[in-house]
Amino acid sequence: MLFHNKMYKANDVYGISRDLPLNYIRRQEVDQKLIENLDKSRHIVIYGSSKQGKTSLKKSCLKSDEYINIQCLNHWKLTDIHLAILKQAGYQTTQSVKQTASGKQKVAASFEGLVNFFGLAGSKGTISTDTEQQKTTETLLENFDVDPEDVNDIIACLNAIKFQKYIVLEDFHYLDIDIQRDFAVVLKAFHEASKFCFIIIGVWLEENRLIVHNGDLTGRVIAIDADKWTHRELMQVIDEGAKLLNISFTEHFKTTVIKESYESVYIVQEVCSQACHQEQVKETQSQFRTIGGRLLVHHLIKSVVNQQNGRYMSFINQFSEGFQDTQLEMYKWILYPILSLKLKELQQGLTYARIREELQSRHPQGKNLNPGNLTQALKSTSSLQVKKGIKPIIIDYDQTNRRLNVVDRGFLIWLANQNISELLAAVEYN
């Protein structure tokens, strides 16, 4: 039987989507927590592994006209973030002839647009009223000479146009670690001197990442873990998509996919997409079908993960090289326990003590290896991947819990299907 009258393409139901997935399901511990905290009293951090639904969470809980979206780039400085916010808010920015107190060039920021008059009392401009439609608008003209480093200037510009949307910073983890720290300081100023609310999205598994950067953010930031998907929730994702296509997957297929996906909703989605392709389900079926019984789930998962083979090999080669040639080759040796230990340990994250134990047993300097060198290298794991152009990042160090995490679950599945001896030989461990 057909559950609905609409027709859907299988590629629009399962797999990666630019829009909110058609089979998106709301998680009580994630979506509900975000909705309950959208009161602008605190900034919000959404964190988790790559491709675990962080951006979809934002799209599900916020309307497109309720926020502006800033995509962070790895070469950005604090001024770039500030200017991107002004541009997304509607300002046009050009270089000014004036200088800041430190001698740097100011930026001329101008805003012109139609806005709701009642939300902009006291602003400059001309007023026009449409009696028939009961709409009152105002042509607002604002011009500022802005110090792009000064958060107070940014706040003044946003206040001038009565800006009320959420400010979303996507891919915050791509920013240099020093820029992340600088912005954590700025975030406190935004909280104390304005009503503006930021939603920061990043790939890491550390709940208090921003508080580590700036302890003053304690109580001013709420963190939402978008990483965790339960068996029941992943089952819902599969079933909701199947309803749209007027099909069902066998119970064995579903339980095996979930078990072997390492709780990755991305892997689940892609495997279901591959299964539909192999079963010739291109769109909603006119007659109800049950599929998946003859498919080898492990082979489908391996096929999905192997699409990233080149990226994972590039990660191993480039990460092992580090920032430059050094005698200790710390990044090469940090990679050693990742490649050699059991996947169950990797899935739980490697503690600092465990990594140090492995390195002391294998590193040329053995127990004479300086712990400070290891700590510094671990703190720079994300920065190294960003510099090498490894996107999304694959590992990240949690400074709070002193734990190295694999934040790309596909990498774990890929490792499970590799000849580890060959990988170790390729990195040339002595």
pLDDT tens digit sequence for 91-110: 998 876 556 666 677 888 88
Place of tokens 């819990």: 401
Residues 6+ apart with CB under 8 A from 273: 10, 11, 14, 15
Asked if 21 and 174 touch (Cβ cutoff 8 Å), the reply is: no
Give the span between the Cα atoms of 182 and 185, in whole angstroms.
5
User: Residue 112 pLDDT more than 80?
Assistant: no
Helices H / strands E in the chain, number of each: 19, 14
| pTM, 2 dp | 0.89
Name the average pLDDT for the chain: 90
Residue 106 is predicted with a pLDDT of: 81
Nearest to 382 by CA among 371, 392, 372: 392
Residue 93 is predicted with a pLDDT of: 84
Give the start-end residues of each E strand in 72-176. 92-99, 105-116, 125-130, 135-146, 166-170
Provide the 3-class DSSP secondary structure of residue 73.
coil
User: Residue 132 pLDDT more than 50?
Assistant: no
User: Residue 263 pLDDT more than 70?
Assistant: yes
User: Residue 120 pLDDT more than 50?
Assistant: no
Question: Within 13 A of 154's CA, how many CA atoms are on the CB side?
Answer: 26
Residue 430 is predicted with a pLDDT of: 66
pLDDT band for 116, please (50, 70, 90 cuts). Answer: very low
pLDDT, average across residues 203-213 = 95
* Helix or strand holding residue 377 (H, E): helix 371-379
pLDDT, average across residues 265-271 = 97
pLDDT band for 176, please (50, 70, 90 cuts). Answer: very high
Residue 110 is predicted with a pLDDT of: 87
pLDDT, average across residues 216-226 = 96
- pLDDT, one tens digit per residue, over 233-246 is 999 999 999 999 99
For 336-363, the three-class secondary structure string (H helix, E strand, C coil) is HHHHHCCHHHHHHCEEHHHHHHHHHHHC
User: Residue 286 pLDDT more than 50?
Assistant: yes
Q: Which residues pair with 309 in a beta bridge?
A: none
Q: Between 374 and 126, where is the model more confident?
A: 374
Residue 115 is predicted with a pLDDT of: 52
User: Residue 140 pLDDT more than 80?
Assistant: no
pLDDT, average across residues 279-298 = 96
- pLDDT, one tens digit per residue, over 9-51 is 999 999 888 889 999 999 999 999 999 999 889 999 999 999 9
